[in-house]
Chains A and B, each alone.
Chain A
Amino acid sequence: MTDPNDLRNDLGSDPSSEQRELAAAERLTSAPATDTNDSGSGGEGDDVVGIGVVGWLRWGWRQLTSMRTALILLFLLSLAAVPGSLVPQTSASEINVQNFHANHKLLAPLFDKLDMFDVYGSFWFSAIYILLFISLLGCIIPRTYQFVGVLRAKPPTAPRHLVRLPVYATWRTSADSDAVLAAGDALLRKRRFRVSRSGDSVSSEKGYLREVGNLLFHVSLIAMLIAFATTKLFGGMGTVVVIEGNAFSNNVTQYDDFMPSTFYTANSLDPFGFFLNSFDATYQTSGDQMGTARTYAAYISYWTGSNSKKLTKGTIEVNHPLQIDGSNVYLTAHGYAPVIKVTNAKGEVIFNGPTACLPQDADITSLCAFKIADGYVNSAGKSTQIGLTGIFAPTAVIDGTNGPHSSFPALDDPGLFITGYSGDLGLDSGIPQSVYSIDTTHMTQLKLSDGSIWKASLHPEQGIKLPSGGVVTYLGTKQWANFTISHNPGTTAALVSSALAILGLIGSLFVQRRRIWVRAVTGPDGVTTIEVAGLARSESARIAEELADLALALQDTGPADHDDVPDADSDDAPLADLTSSSKD
């Protein structure tokens, strides 16, 4: 493609009316005028010294909205997105960020200052995309304005010397010029060109959908950004672990983790709740991916509003969230919760229920911590707190290297392997602690009378005596499911705008905008000279073929005289007629 600047430079050096005419014909794109001004014609862009604040602002605006700046901003945007995939992000995993802090004492504070742990919310990332979108707006607003002007105007009239256009054909015919123009008009209309006749020529243009698509695509991108912002400002999510048989009600105190946003707080939560009736998982039982999960399903009964008596049944699977009111409930993880019963030295039941254990591997070897805070009295009659910690394995195996672990994720042969501590669990210290581990700083390990460490490996319905009195019984196992409850208000808007963006993209990439002119002039000798010329300013336009097709179709009305091929009447006859040599 020729550089449009060449044309403009020509225009600057020799502003003949003809070239201006050609230039007008060439202006197929409705690109903003700033693009035209940055070389040759005006010099406004260069002459900025001493033009005052307004001048500088105008210059800055022009720079910002230029294509080159947009290109650089796009480039920066992709570069800026890279670190977020390499450095752990707070939004994805807080723990990874903490680990990074622990392992990189030097880098971490620097990264903290640069918002490296929250790249996509950082000032520099935001700056790039906000500038990009301003640049985009600065481009599409004038462009839309110009395009409306183009739509309201007639296709531009034929340049005087059609022969100078990129695609050109001419022939002589004995037919009447008016008939030829009428035929040209009709043929172009049939090909769905926008046609206008003036004087001895017909002008036509086609492919407006290219610009429509272009504008639609860019407007959709802005709409998408607004939808993203809506989600970010008005959305929120929380996660919660629910054990089979237990209930959850949508209240901030019930969440394990709650991520609010500017306008979505604890007060905005929809009133609803559900029971987890049962959880179902199936696993592959053979092959090298043995143990890989195949299906997960959580069966729940939910209520909405304040009436928790009116229950509706529902199923939540991995790709099938359940929508309750304005929130979606997703199934994101699962694990096991062994049910243990603990009695104290007096024989009173002080603990009886399931405790969720944290899965460690694909076979759901899990870490468990049972915190018995109240009611334990040892055989000496002294009250203390008991912590039991260990491993739960749904299909238990013990070997020398790995110790007790699970060999399959299903509950084929569950085993609970625990040791115990007594003392102060530290629950009242005010320091938040994990529910999956025990802080043993103020505790002593339970030992047998011979001084060896107390250990128990239990199978369902087995019990064992605690060395200080009392019994621990492993009654059975329940499953737990982890739910993410999210409220994403901008989702539909994002979906619609992205669909429109694709539509616009298809238009702007696959529709070709082009112009065709037909001129017919009957000379004093009664012979009509027909000229057709075409201009396409987009990639991969088949304008030559299209013009040939039109020329061919025009033969019905204005057939070319047999041997009378006119010279292309100009000083710069476009090209040597190579075809004649090939016909020999």
Chain B
Amino acid sequence: MADATHWIGGGLVVAGTLLTLLGGVGVVRFPDVYTRIHAASLTDTGGATLVLIGLGILSGFTLETLKLAFVWAFVMLTTPAAANALANAAFSAGHKPRIGAFQIMKGESSEGAGPAQRDGGVAP
């Protein structure tokens, strides 16, 4: 299978996987819950798009391509909505965002200040 579709499709899959991996590194290394949410949701959705397009090119146009389109549609619909929900809940629970590497928003003492006051009483 040394033709063009093999290399293009495989290349897109590898590119999507690389994007997802970078997002994973971001989630581990970023300092704050909001930046982590941003890293994870953006790279998951973009990486999923690249991987699914790559798989679609690899397989040609069959029924499976329609199923790949469904997977893409559901991932596009749910991942950003879940990220919105998590960020919304985290903010209303009292997490203050960290700005910059060492500068914290005025009036707060550390990252994650104050979630315990307004959460429903669940220990992290």
B partners with A: no
Task: Name A residues whose Cβ lies closer than 8 Å to a Cβ of B.
Answer: none
